[in-house]
Structure 1
Amino acid sequence: MKYKLGDFVRFVDEKMEGYVTTIIDDDMIGVTGEDDFEIPVLASKVTTVHGHKSTAVESQAFDEVKANTGDFDTRGIYLAVASDQRIASVVHFYLVNETSFQLLTALTTEKLYKFKGEYAGIIAPKSATKIFSAPLQDIQLWPVFNFQVVFYTTQNIAINQPLILKETFKAKDFSGTKTVVPLIKQQAWLIRLDEPELVLDAEKLKESFFKPAEEKREIEKPVHEIDLHIEKLRDDHQFLSSAEILNIQLTAFRKALDAAIVHKLPSITFIHGVGNGTLKNELHKIVGKHPHIQTFMDARKEKFGYGATKVLLK
């Protein structure tokens, strides 16, 4: 099979063109055109469109990467899922490397106990590469994604442990707000693959074990609607920076969410406002991967507009 997912092709016998969105077998592929319909076609009946500008962001080989003499970033690996700029129903998956490591990356898909290598290559520091494409409307048919990432650098830096992940995507993963991803120069749903390191303070942890029972506070049951507007949380908000405000709002959000889980509430609504979408986007990233959350959605639009999110708990 000379074609791969994401290739832009033209039909030999018809005036049609589109992206390869399915590899059916060694002879058949699925091509999605501007009408958003996928057409099964013999691979021999299409040809690559020469000169078509690929949507992939090319990575660099080892010997092309210059040593970074500034701060060395050890974390920041994301999967960006972006709509095609010509065919809205097709989405492209980009592996985004915001670290200073070179990433030796492989993607293998799994469907009905059949495995298929989709991508293998080197992703340079501070770059992104397209690794997969698929029709968004067929999300329930998407395979399981198996990621393997190995970290490499010529600098005197302790390497991270290899990253091995298995991801199954659902519609709720793409119900949140898109964010601008500078490395691919467009908006996309952003999913973090390497979670930030959890730093534990051993002394504080030890103290918590031996804290007298009377000092332990009972977790208060939260109300069903939590207003995260900064003026509701702090009286001195006019003296706070944007970063400080966001941190305070996220802290209040996590505290209320944890309390709702502890008290086994069926749901809880967070009022975040519309604004520039930063707070809403951060909330959606957290609840989208939370093990105790069933799903989330915009709260009653007639009451909140688009300024609140309702979270359904398991």
Structure 2
Amino acid sequence: MKYKLGDFVRFVDEKMEGFVTRIIDDQMIGVTGDDDFEIPVLASKVTTVHGYVPAGSKKEDEAEEPQTPVGDFKVKGVYIGVINDPKANSVVHFYLVNDTSFQLLASLTTERTNTFKGEYSGLAAPNTATKIYSAQLADLQLWPKFVFHIVYHTKHNTEPPAPLVVNEKFKAKDFSGSKKLIPILKTQGWLIQLDEPDLVIDAQKLKESFFQSPDEKAVVDKPGTEVDLHIEKLRNDYQFLNSGEILKIQLDHFHKALDAAIVHQQPEIIFIHGAGNGTLRHEIHKLLGKHQKIQTFMDARKEKFGYGATKVVLK
């Protein structure tokens, strides 16, 4: 199949054109025009219209020169940015966003039922975004598992991190949160950081906790079914706190309440975070999406909370 999702094509026998929004099989594709209707058509009955370049992508004939880092050397900042196609909104494009000062040797492999396919390999210069994959957002449940391999390189006197290997099977909850500004691309989308530090468990402290006497062990109070995270409910001196301090207090209270709900085996809990600018909601959804004890989460009853609360269902 020579066509890819997002390609701009024109019908050979009709005065119609549109974007490829579905790969049906080796012979058939789905093309969506200005009327937003998807038309199944033989791939042999359309031809590529050259000149359309999606936002943030580069033309193939553009030489990509490694950029010399300016200022402090950045060692963190490898992301996958997922954005809607500006012309075919049902299609999303995956970009490897290199917001570090390293040059990256990157590879993407997809896996479906033990069948592997190399989707992308190449070099990503510092401060660049490279399109590596496209998919139908509506088919998210059918997406393959993504395997990313990243190797770091620099001519500077800086020790590169160990090669990065990330296996990711995306779920609907990964795209349930608010969009945010994608670095480099400067457009709104979903952002997944690949080089986040792993959770480190202090084995010694864990061991000591098992040998504490009952009197030494902290008593965990059972939280209510609704936990209000508005700062005025948590601190009396909130007028003297800056935004960073407020967010930390709210997230600390969120962690404490969630842990308590898990300890007491509550089936669900609601966190009231308010609408505001969406920062607290986004941080909570990000943490919930990675938590092993969370079955799912969603907006709580809109007739009661609007978009200002999240319902969490525990395993």
TM-score normalised by L of structure 1: 0.87
Kindly provide the amino acid, as one letter, of the partner of residue 105 in structure 1: A
Kindly provide the amino acid, as one letter, of the partner of residue 15 in structure 1: K
2:307 match: 306
Kindly provide the amino acid, as one letter, of the partner of residue 98 in structure 1: D
**SS of the residue 1:274 aligns to:** coil
Q: 1:264 to 1:16 in 2, by over 3 A?
A: farther
2:142 match: 141
Q: 1:62 to 1:164 in 2, by over 3 A?
A: farther
**SS of the residue 1:259 aligns to:** helix
Q: 1:175 to 1:199 in 2, by over 3 A?
A: closer
Counterpart CA distance in 1 for 2:27 and 2:265 is 53
Q: Deviations over 1:158-180 (max 9, x none)?
A: 21222222222222222211112
Structure 1 residues 186-225: aligned runs within 5 Å: 186-196=187-197, 214-225=215-226
Q: CA deviation at 1:204?
A: 7.2
Assess if the C-alpha contact under 8 Å between 1:59 and 1:123 holds in 2: no
Q: Quick check: 1:42 aligned with 2:33?
A: no
1:231 match: 232
Assess if the C-alpha contact under 8 Å between 1:34 and 1:87 holds in 2: no
Kindly provide the amino acid, as one letter, of the partner of residue 50 in structure 2: H
User: Mean alpha-carbon deviation: is it higher for 37-46 or for 113-122?
Assistant: 37-46
User: Mean alpha-carbon deviation: is it higher for 2-11 or for 126-135?
Assistant: 2-11
2:167 match: 166
Assess if the C-alpha contact under 8 Å between 2:222 and 2:264 holds in 1: yes
Q: Quick check: 1:96 aligned with 2:93?
A: no
Q: CA deviation at 1:90?
A: 1.6
**SS of the residue 2:282 aligns to:** helix
User: Mean alpha-carbon deviation: is it higher for 234-243 or for 3-12?
Assistant: 3-12
Q: CA deviation at 1:281?
A: 0.9
Identify unmatched segments of 5+ residues in structure 2.
none
Q: Deviations over 1:245-273 (max 9, x none)?
A: 11221121112112212221111111111
Q: 1:296 to 1:50 in 2, by over 3 A?
A: same
Counterpart CA distance in 1 for 2:31 and 2:56 is 18
Equivalent residues, number? 314
Identify unmatched segments of 5+ residues in structure 1.
none
Counterpart CA distance in 1 for 2:203 and 2:141 is 44
**SS of the residue 2:18 aligns to:** strand
1:260 match: 261
Q: Quick check: 1:279 aligned with 2:280?
A: yes
Pairwise CA RMSD: 2.9
Q: 1:199 to 1:116 in 2, by over 3 A?
A: closer
Kindly provide the amino acid, as one letter, of the partner of residue 246 in structure 1: L
Q: CA deviation at 1:275?
A: 0.6
Q: CA deviation at 1:283?
A: 0.9
Q: 1:17 to 1:182 in 2, by over 3 A?
A: farther
1:131 match: 132
Q: Deviations over 1:103-125 (max 9, x none)?
A: 21111222344322222222222
Q: 1:205 to 1:29 in 2, by over 3 A?
A: same
